[in-house]
Amino acid sequence: MTSIAVSFNGEYALLDIGEGTQRQVMHAGLGFGRLRRIFITHLHGDHFFGLFPLLQTLSILRRTAPLEVYSPEGLSKILDALSEFSHFRVTFPLRVVEFSGPSVFRFPRYTVEFFPVDHLDTPTFGVRIRERDKPGRLDVKKAEELGIPPSLRSLLKKGIPIKLPDGRTVQPGEVVGPPTPGKVLVYSSDTRPTAGVVEKASGADLLIHDATFRDDLAERARATGHSTVGEACRVAIEAKVKMLALVHFSARYRDEDLDEIEREARSIFPNAVVARDFLTIDL
Amino acid sequence: MTSIAVSFNGEYALLDIGEGTQRQVMHAGLGFGRLRRIFITHLHGDHFFGLFPLLQTLSILRRTAPLEVYSPEGLSKILDALSEFSHFRVTFPLRVVEFSGPSVFRFPRYTVEFFPVDHLDTPTFGVRIRERDKPGRLDVKKAEELGIPPSLRSLLKKGIPIKLPDGRTVQPGEVVGPPTPGKVLVYSSDTRPTAGVVEKASGADLLIHDATFRDDLAERARATGHSTVGEACRVAIEAKVKMLALVHFSARYRDEDLDEIEREARSIFPNAVVARDFLTIDL
């Protein structure tokens, strides 16, 4: 059952939320208070059946902070049915945003883009998270030479031109270096290898890709709308990503198989890793 | 999250099915093939949110055998919504039986009775499972004296009178001892202490009772529709059950607390046990 926590300073979001996610969140020590958003890639149970019990737990814990859930169309009807026909009650502000096609959502710290992937007849979306660019370094020496008072320097760092008391205008580029581009993470969700993932993951810091089967079961991967380990590696090569994390392994594979899968993957794409439970990747 | 597996020879049923039950079923080595029925006591998430992922897993495993689910009204509407608004598909024969009041269901090996308990405004039912009586012992020596051919003896054991080739009729009581009464298990579900549980559990082999709080939080137990450890013990004493298993502890209690709770309970009702994960009780 899939769930990926994407942590920023002081908050985190979940990508998908399969059964048992709340338990793993507790084990991982993430806490529930810092969870702000949940992004669901498609409405297959192993990607969203952990939502209802989490909402119940947050209600029992008397959460008051809002929670946002982004999902392909259908989720709110299911939540409505749960409220109408069972004793399911959400007692904090829950905002469900549904979409039926490619969508971009901008938040203060990051932008999330949902793009269609190829998972049989189920509307399924990959996710691209782009962290906001970090402002460039301010050249303090130069700022002093130009006589810019310290109180105005943070405006320049934010990219805002300023006017000095003597009437001179200073452009940010005169004292601030180029911004550091935000990190980019792409999650393929469940999918066949697609050009869309290659495009969206181009140059990404991390690609998290479906690798349900080993290459000897390529036919089965095709039939079920998933990718093989080799296919995932080739997407990573084509997209020239910096790192690849393989996820969503078939239950047939044991720990020893995963060790072998990791070796196989690294022989194709050296910076590949098998995403076991609780794996942490620092970007 | 609650789930209790009740095993008979070669098959088992689940009482309630909270999130994560399928995982615990796997860890317990019960397997899915022998699961025939699921009995849900009320539609609070911690008692039924494990159903949807289990149904999905059974479909992926290509189950063909039927599965029966007995639930208070509402469940089938929720399953309908899941089918309509997500890509949830059950690919084996699923029979959902709903009830809105006290109900009795008779199966070949046992009878299940749902009876109302007291859990705030949520329709909630306790469960009484009575195993079928075991036939008495056949007195082989006497059967031979009466000239009863071996082929007819199993009929007598089943309580059926037989006619011998010479025309004589033999009543079961002539050669078969009294039946062994079937074991009785009562599960209170989530409830305040009630006379209904005392009545249904009278003389039961095992009472599984809500003990969400210790006695110092009696007010909280009242406010949330649960029982304290002491209240559960007093129900067991009044009902004169042979054994008491305490369940549904608040998440505030740690392992050490549970050890203390068990000692407290045994000081009131000596044959009490705290039901930790994977506890097995052989009746």
CA geometry: angle A189, A190, A195, nearest 5 deg: 80
Give first-to-last CA distance, chain B, whole Å: 24
Residue B2's pLDDT is 87
B144 touches A: beta carbon within 8 Å: no
**pLDDT grade for A3, boundaries at 50, 70 and 90:** very high
Indicate whether B9 pLDDT > 90: no
Nearest CA in chain B to A82: B78
Indicate whether A151 pLDDT > 90: no
A90 touches B: beta carbon within 8 Å: no
Q: What is the pairing mode between strands A125-131 and A110-116?
A: antiparallel
Residue A158's pLDDT is 83
A1-100 CATH, one of 3.40.50.11610, 3.90.960.10, 3.60.15.10, 3.30.420.10 = 3.60.15.10
Q: Is A52–B50 a contact, with Cβ atoms under 8 angstroms apart?
A: no
User: How far is A118 from chain B, CA to nearest CA, in Å?
Assistant: 15
Q: Is A44–B87 a contact, with Cβ atoms under 8 angstroms apart?
A: yes
- pLDDT one-digit tens code per residue, B223-244: 999 999 999 999 999 999 999 9
B116 touches A: beta carbon within 8 Å: no
Residue A159's pLDDT is 84
Mean pLDDT value across residues B51-73: 96
Can B46 be counted among the known catalytic residues?
Answer: yes
Residue A191's pLDDT is 98
Question: Of all residues in chain A, what percent carry a pLDDT higher than 70?
Answer: 100
Residue B159's pLDDT is 84
Domains B1-100 and B101-133+181-278 are alike in CATH topology: yes
Residue B154's pLDDT is 87
Residue A10's pLDDT is 86
* Residue A223 DSSP symbol: H
Residue B84's pLDDT is 95
Backbone angles phi, psi at B57, to 5 degrees: -60, -45
Which tokens is B207 given? 């009472």
- pLDDT one-digit tens code per residue, A74-106: 999 999 999 999 999 999 999 999 999 999 999
Mean pLDDT value across residues B259-281: 97
Residue B266's pLDDT is 98
Q: What is the mean pLDDT of chain B?
A: 95
Mean pLDDT value across residues A207-225: 97
Burial B67-97, CB ≥16 within 10 A → b, else e:
bbbbbbebbeebbebbeebbbbebeeebebe
Nearest CA in chain B to A50: B19
Shortest CB distance from B20 goes to which of A19, A43, A56? Answer: A19
- pLDDT one-digit tens code per residue, A49-64: 999 999 999 999 999 9
Q: How far apart are CA A51 and CA B64, in angstroms?
A: 28
Residue A200, CA distances (Å) to A39, A120, A182, B121 in order: 17, 20, 15, 50
Smallest Cα–Cα separation from B210: which of B231, B233, B235, B227? B227
Catalytic residue list of A: 46
Q: Is B77–A84 a contact, with Cβ atoms under 8 angstroms apart?
A: yes
- pLDDT one-digit tens code per residue, B110-159: 999 999 999 999 999 999 999 999 888 889 999 999 989 888 888 888 88
Contact B4, B187 (CB under 8 A): yes
Q: Is A81–B86 a contact, with Cβ atoms under 8 angstroms apart?
A: no
Indicate whether A179 pLDDT > 90: no
Residue B10's pLDDT is 86
In chain B, domain spans: 1-100, 101-133+181-278, 140-174
Q: What is the mean pLDDT of chain A?
A: 95
**pLDDT grade for B165, boundaries at 50, 70 and 90:** confident
Indicate whether A206 pLDDT > 90: yes
Indicate whether A26 pLDDT > 90: yes
DSSP string, B2-32: --EEEEETTEEEEE---TTHHHHHHHTT--S
Q: Is B84–A77 a contact, with Cβ atoms under 8 angstroms apart?
A: yes
Mean pLDDT value across residues B200-214: 98
Question: Of all residues in chain B, what percent carry a pLDDT higher than 90?
Answer: 86
Was domain A101-133+181-278 assigned CATH 1.10.287.110?
no
SS3 B150: helix
Indicate whether A204 pLDDT > 90: yes
Shortest CB distance from A77 goes to which of B19, B23, B81? Answer: B81
User: How far is A27 from chain B, CA to nearest CA, in Å?
Assistant: 14
Q: Is B77–A88 a contact, with Cβ atoms under 8 angstroms apart?
A: no
Indicate whether B41 pLDDT > 90: yes
Residue B179's pLDDT is 87
Q: What is the ipTM of this complex?
A: 0.81
Mean pLDDT value across residues A35-61: 96
Nearest CA in chain B to A51: B49
